[in-house]
Copies of this chain bind each other. A is one copy, B any other.
Amino acid sequence: MSYKEKKVISIGVISELTGLSERQIRYYEERKLIFPERSKGGTRKYSFHDVEKLVDIANKIEDGMQTFEIRREEMKKADIRNKMLRGQLNAAFKMRK
């Protein structure tokens, strides 16, 4: 896994990097838009990828989009990715028969 995906950054730093309040960052997690890991003690850990995600989210919210819409959009993307992956695997499987 690349550095970009490693969850090692605490919420305070994330707040600085994104310009969002800690409240906002935690709320977007509550709405299932981001998924930080946790230390043994329970503190949240984010990745650089999460920083980019958060900036995207913030922009969409500024444009008037609601969190559930952003989430739905995200789900749709993941769905398409899954279908494409299935297609790939299926094609590969058929070739082996």
A residues near B (Cβ < 8 Å) are: 3-4, 6, 8-10, 12-13, 17, 39, 45, 48
Copies in the complex: 2
- A-B contacts, 5 listed (Cβ < 8 Å): A3-B48, A10-B10, A12-B39, A13-B39, A13-B45
Residues of B within 8 A of A3 (CB): 3-4, 48
Q: What's the Cα separation between A3 and B45 when bound, in Å?
A: 16
In the complex the two chains form, is B4's CB within 8 Å of A8's CB? Answer: no
Most buried by B among A4, A8, A12, A13: A8
Inter-chain CA distance A94–B34, complex, in Å, is 55
CA distance A3 to B12 in the complex (A): 17
